[in-house]
Amino acid sequence: MIIDALELPAGTELQADVCIVGSGAAGIALALPFADGRHEVIVIEAGGARHEPETQALYAGEVADTRLHPPLDRYRERRYGGSTTTWGGRCVPFDPIDFEVRDYVPHSGWPIGHETLQPYYARATQLCEAGECAFDAASAFPRGLPPLLAGFDSASFSTDTLERFSCPTDFGRRYRQRLDAAANLRVLLHANVTGVELGDDGRAVSAVRAASLGGKTLRVRARCVILAAGGLENARLLLASDEVQRTGIGNAHDLVGRYYMCHLAGTTGTLALEPGVAVRYGYDVSDDGIYCRRRFALRADAQRRLGVGNFIARLHHPRITDPAHGSGALSLLYLAKPFIPYEYAKRLHGDDAHGIGRWLAHLGNLVRDPLQAFAFAWQMLTQRKLAERKFPSIIIEPRRPRFSLDFHAEQLPNPDSRVTLGSERDALGMRRLHLDWRYRREDVETVARALATFAADVRASGIGRYDYDPDAIEAEMLRYGAYGGHHIGTARMGRSPREGVVDTNLQVHGVDNLFVAGAAVFPTSSQANPTLTIVALSLRLAGHLQARLAAGAPHAAAPPRELAA
């Protein structure tokens, strides 16, 4: 059932077997397997059913360099459903190489392998409403597809891997009925967790403390507590809960908040194809009705040979802000930017000069090419605005075979990229985050070497040319700063407390009943968007917790561990 904490008496104490902090992709995926089971579950959600500015403001924090990272109350939603209320829906599993120790990538390697997570991807894909777990073109399209780029012959890039798109599914809305109907589940809205309380020995959580903006407080006592509040907030909660473990929970080795990764993304260069070269730009719809898209994926052996991180690139339209593209549809988007949500309008602003001249040039494009603009607006209305399964992105077939390349690359783990507690406090008295996102030379190299290889392979294939400015790569990948919304690595998984905040079961080292779900636990970031893997890890964690609760694991009987405090 779904309960508003504002309606509970002040000072309420609740009991459960499982307490999940957060109702986003991680929290809901974790709660659903418990529905109608025999364990009592409480999900604590800070927000309400809708976006509320005062609640959202609790996310605000300081950013060390605002050119490099968006404000902390952007790209995440403090509300029921979490950031799935705003995500784009791209579902991509991690690749086997992402889990490996790569000698050319310091701090790489997951303590679990691809095969450990693989069994959970099918159910995760289903929960994300992205259809069957078929992420290569051959299995998703058994009757075959025309080539992505005819004649492109590359030993380094695969054109066979797929991204599959969720509706995009707002987990809160989609699974509301199921959460509400389950008698053993309680979702508490408007309950902001302000601290995780440990017992005196620091070895187990005794209670989770929460407060509403109206000043009511409540406590939840549970046999297992899982932080599923997002990659930034999980770290904040661990660091801010410093009453017993003075440096924050699980932070004896100064790992919480470090290794903060996003992705490196940008749009660059021009792929000019010879006349007659067939190219499949855009989406293919699989039999199960899912928008799927192929892309150029740097193969694992090429990554090893080049000594770079994981990398993919998609064909893309020219930069929207530059009216030289001559496209009425793209100019329409430029002119419509005041009506497009911040998270998706960023690329419409960019850092180019703005002014009436540019605006007029776009208006000129629109006037010269009204049909394309109209067709595009119609598609956006019928296949996006009114559809429950939305056409995932802007696809405008160019008049000439010219594309830019939209890349999405792994950011390599870097202990100096981190979040810490700042000095300011929010309305509930919790210290706000200070975020210092850093990238390294090697991250630029991933993109540089991958693009150089792509350009060489295009040329060698004799199908055209890919021209780009190698010296502008760093500027391009930072044009909009770190890729928004992917908050990875702040409570990384590691076999020992020295290597990670959580163990392979996502349990905080040294704290017997505290777990972390979400991208915070990813030791590396892959080329893939994180949501699908977040959901897969949550499903795995649900299984682990169910087995543990069924076995009745008493706290006192836990095997001795290295003391974390």
Partner 1 sequence: MSARVLVLGGSGYIGGQVARTLAAAGGWQVIVASRRPRAAAGVRTLALDARNADALAGVVGGVDAVVNCVTGGPADIRANADALATALRRQARAPRLVHLSSMAVYGASTGRIDEWSVTAPQSGYGRAKCDAEDILRHCPNTVLLRPGCVYGPGSVQWSVRIAQLLRERRLGDLGADGDGYGNLVHVDDVVAAIRQSLYRDSAAGKTFNLSLADADLPTWNEYFVEFARRLGAVPVARIPARRLSLETQLLAPLLKLAELGLRRLGLDTGGLPPAITPSMRALWQQRIRLDSRRAAAELGLRWKPLGEGLAETAAALRVVPLARQPA
Q: Does 389 bind partner 1 (CB under 8 A)?
A: yes
- Closer to partner 1 at the Cβ: 116 or 184? 184
CB-CB contact of 498 with 279 (8 Å) = no
Q: Applying CB under 8 A, which of residues 65, 136, 153, 288 lies at the interface with partner 1?
A: 288
CB-CB contact of 23 with 81 (8 Å) = yes
- Closer to partner 1 at the Cβ: 285 or 360? 285
Nearest approach, Cβ of residue 260 and partner 1 (Å):
35
Q: Applying CB under 8 A, which of residues 10, 285, 547, 558 lies at the interface with partner 1?
A: 285
- For residue 461 the two structure tokens come to 């294939």
- Closer to partner 1 at the Cβ: 2 or 112? 2
Window 159 to 178, contacts with partner 1 (CB under 8 A): 167, 173-178
- Closer to partner 1 at the Cβ: 221 or 280? 280
Q: How deeply is 245 buried, as exposed, middle or buried, from its count of CB atoms within 10 A (0-12, 13-18, 19+)? A: buried
Nearest approach, Cβ of residue 2 and partner 1 (Å):
14
- For residue 523 the two structure tokens come to 């030791």
Q: Does 287 bind partner 1 (CB under 8 A)?
A: yes
Nearest approach, Cβ of residue 170 and partner 1 (Å):
11
User: What amino acid occupies position 410?
Assistant: E
CB-CB contact of 481 with 70 (8 Å) = yes
Nearest approach, Cβ of residue 80 and partner 1 (Å):
15
Nearest approach, Cβ of residue 515 and partner 1 (Å):
27
Pseudo-torsion of CA 484, 486, 489, 495, nearest 10°? -170
Alpha-carbon gap, residue 71 to 433, rounded angstroms: 11
Nearest approach, Cβ of residue 285 and partner 1 (Å):
5
Q: Does 36 bind partner 1 (CB under 8 A)?
A: yes
- Closer to partner 1 at the Cβ: 166 or 513? 166
Q: Does 441 bind partner 1 (CB under 8 A)?
A: no
- Closer to partner 1 at the Cβ: 34 or 296? 34
Q: Does 138 bind partner 1 (CB under 8 A)?
A: no
Nearest approach, Cβ of residue 283 and partner 1 (Å):
11
Nearest approach, Cβ of residue 479 and partner 1 (Å):
35
Instruction: Give me the phi and psi of 303, to 5 degrees please.
Output: -60, -45
Neighbouring C-beta atoms of residue 491, cutoff 10 Å: 31
Q: Does 440 bind partner 1 (CB under 8 A)?
A: no
Tell me the helix, strand and coil percentages in the chain, rounded to 5.
Answer: 30, 20, 45
Q: How far is CA 74 from CA 47, 53, 114, 270, 560, in A?
A: 15, 12, 31, 31, 42
- The site for partner 1, by CB under 8 A, has a size of 22
Alpha-carbon gap, residue 406 to 312, rounded angstroms: 8
489: left (phi over 0), alpha (psi -120 to 50) or beta: left
Q: Applying CB under 8 A, which of residues 1, 181, 340, 547 lies at the interface with partner 1?
A: 181
- Closer to partner 1 at the Cβ: 63 or 292? 292
Q: Which residues pair with 16 in a beta bridge?
A: 222
- Closer to partner 1 at the Cβ: 174 or 544? 174
- Closer to partner 1 at the Cβ: 140 or 405? 140
Q: Does 289 bind partner 1 (CB under 8 A)?
A: yes
First-last CA distance in the chain:
37
Contacting range for partner 1; rule: CB under 8 A; set: 258-266, 280-288, 434-442, 459-467: 280-288
Alpha-carbon gap, residue 112 to 89, rounded angstroms: 26
Total count of residues recorded for the chain: 565
- For residue 162 the two structure tokens come to 């797929």
Binding site for partner 1 (CB under 8 A): 36, 129, 143-144, 167, 173-178, 181, 285-290, 386-389
